[in-house]
Amino acid sequence: MRLSANSPCPCGREAKLKQCCGRVHQGRPATPPELVRARYTAFVLGKVRFIIDTTHPEASHAREDRGAWRNELQDYCRRTEFHGLQIHEHEVDEERGEAFVRFTVELSIDGRPAGFTERSRFRREGKRWLYLEGELHEPGADA
Ligand SMILES: [Zn+2]
């Protein structure tokens, strides 16, 4: 999906793409909740390189073969329609360089509803937060 920089940001914040997740895509440091938004928007826009670059190298789903990983993500983005993101809460431990964000994504894959709630774990490397892993919650468990 292509969007103009002046479009409303897909993450749901009342801001233009260029003033919201677009900045993070261009390298502005992000807090963990901002990173969840920017990664969601990257999925919407098919910016798979950003998704890979913000995944911690030690993540269990990180792949050595970045080309294959990119193709897999591109395929996922093509088959998925994103309907919205809601961030529920976050905890940031600056000292340990660890953070958690709990959020819900509404989406459908191949036309079937496949939304989920996840508690993501992030680890800081230098100044950047990176996605490490996610723990899935039952859909609607916290509705
Ligand atoms: Zn945004």
The pLDDT tens digits of the residues spanning 68-111 come to 999 999 999 999 999 999 999 999 999 999 999 999 999 999 99
Ligand 1 mean position, distance from CA 20 (Å): 4
Number of helices and strands in the chain (H, E): 4, 5
Ligand 1 centre distance from Cα of residue 16 (Å):
8
SS3 115: coil
On the question of pLDDT at 139 being above 60, the answer is: no
pLDDT of residue 122: 98
**pLDDT value for 138:** 64
CA of 18 to the centre of ligand 1 (A): 8
One CATH from 3.40.50.10490, 3.40.640.10, 3.10.450.50, 3.40.630.40 for 17-137: 3.10.450.50
Measured between its terminal Cα atoms, the distance across the chain in Å is 29
- In the DSSP assignment, the letter for residue 102 is E
Residue 92 Cα, ligand 1 centroid: separation in angstroms? 20
Which is it for strands 128-137 and 116-125: parallel, antiparallel or unpaired? antiparallel
**Residue range 40-78, pLDDT digits in tens:** 999 999 999 999 999 999 999 899 999 999 999 999 999
CA of 22 relative to ligand 1 center, distance in Å: 7
Q: What is the pLDDT of residues 12-32, one digit of tens each?
A: 999 999 999 999 999 999 999
Q: What is the pTM of this model?
A: 0.93
The ranges assigned to domains in the chain are: 17-137
Confidence tier at 140 by pLDDT (50, 70, 90) = low
Tokens at residue 48, please?
Answer: 């798979």
